[in-house]
Structure 1
Amino acid sequence: MIGELAALSTALCWAIAARLFRQAGGGFSALCMNFWKGVVTFVLLGLVCVFFVPAASLPASGYGWLLLSGVIGIGIGDTCFFLALKRIGDSQSVLVTETLAPIFAALLAMVWISEWLNAWQWLGVAVVILAVDMVIKSTRRTSPHITPSAGYLYAAGAAVCQAVGAVISRDILTGYDINATEAACWRLAGGIVMVALMMLWRRERWLPKFNPGKRAWCLLAIATLLGTVFAMYLQMLGFANAKAGIVQTLIATSAIFSLGVAALMGDKIHRSTLMWSLVALVGVAILVVS
């Protein structure tokens, strides 16, 4: 039960953080924001590891896989997510990313670590895919100012990267004796290096284009604490105690949490979006209980 509770807590943290990242990100490029939230999180979790977590002893290949997990899931995946945030907003970005990621994770887990889906789980996959497709179509009709093509592609790319990172992490955490905090630090290291290389290649600014102001920095700090420090640890704790497909599926409930956050912030939630979001949640529930 620890893994399931950790996954649900991750979903709540990420739903709140997504809105805060969007509000704080006016002066930050996607890569710049991804880099600095990764650096801050690495420092904080690194201090925890140094003072409270005994060092693990993994073969070089084990550390290499964790680094690769971070390169894909954090370096590329989070950058795609931030790009989606700027184009389609937090509710739609979270909805598409976190409902597609469990499907990709479940399929990849079948191949990678032999976690097979049964007939009910395949039904859940079909329900989620249908619901996400209908949400996207209803959003295009009701929000013509949104440029969906690039935004939804970035969100789908983030989902693929999350799934790959999830399955690799699950494989390492179950195959070796390593604490979730230390594993998170290794993943972050890989993600930070990847983002730094992309910034150098694109000649991106390392600081915001303009001074965002104290409020934006405070929002970014809170979002990093919730969406990266807490969420990263909780996510790895989930992977250590539950199957990758189940954990990624429960994290997908951040799509529903995100709609709740949007409603509390005064955003109008269209009836069709809400209805199909609930259908997506039914698909997620089928995947969990089957």
Structure 2
Amino acid sequence: MNSAAKITAANISQRTLKDKLFKGLVLVLSLVTISPIVLIIYKLVAKGYRQISLEFIIKTPPNTFEAMTAVSNGELIPGGIANGITGTLLMVGLASLIAIPVGVVTGIYLYENPGKLLANLTRNVSDVLQGVPSIVLGLIAYMWIVKPITSGFSALAGSVSLSIMMLPMIVRSTEETLKMIPQSIKEAAVALGVPYYKVILRVLIPTGFSGLLTGILLGISRILGETAPLMLTALGSSVINFDITKPTSAVPLLIWEFYNDPNMVDLIWSSSLLLMGMVLTLNLVSKRIAAGTK
């Protein structure tokens, strides 16, 4: 009896040790996983906070001479990135207007017709599209919009390339959200004699609204920081522009432009900090909404 008790105690002790080692390993690997983003945010805040101000948001970037003069005098670089902020909002907003209705309707179609050939083909194309490099989507928008429609770089072309990037995430999030809605809700509405289109518009979409909104916000956060497709479509502008047929700047484009000018280095960090803040905010909001639906 004592021998059996000793063996049992030894096994428990061994299992406890293994459990502690495993928990320690998980903790270390978790810290390694989150350390890059923590270090990135720390670096951006440490380097970029000095330039963040109201002037940084409402004014356009300075020229090279103004920036060089400020740097040589040890002063803050004057001006800001207002043209990039307005351009980003314009193109992301227009891309959302294009991608959200198309993505939601396509997701509803995939949900309602899971076994049809067209639905399976659409689902596969959406999955493939999600892995297409952004520069390729920029080339597609260049061929579709820049050359034949606007006859030059434009916010419209940039919006089209960004909307194509958003589509796969909205389509799949819509389909998966609708799959999570109990079938009994839909059956109850149909049993009451509600027309089919009203079942979708007034039952399914409102019921899964939180999930749909989460997918949309994640799609927007993905395109906020894209640079490559905008270099081939929107090109950039030194002034604030709201004409969708003209070249327009964006925060990622300005970061690239500042990178090519050694006098604008401080603006790189501040612009990156602002962009990172926008992306993190959207991701946190989407996570909060997703958590609230559980």
Q: TM-score of the superposition, structure 1-length normalised?
A: 0.26
Query: Which has a greater percent of helix?
Result: 1
Where relative contact order (Cα < 8 A, 6+ residues apart) is larger, the structure is: 1
Q: TM-score of the superposition, structure 2-length normalised?
A: 0.25
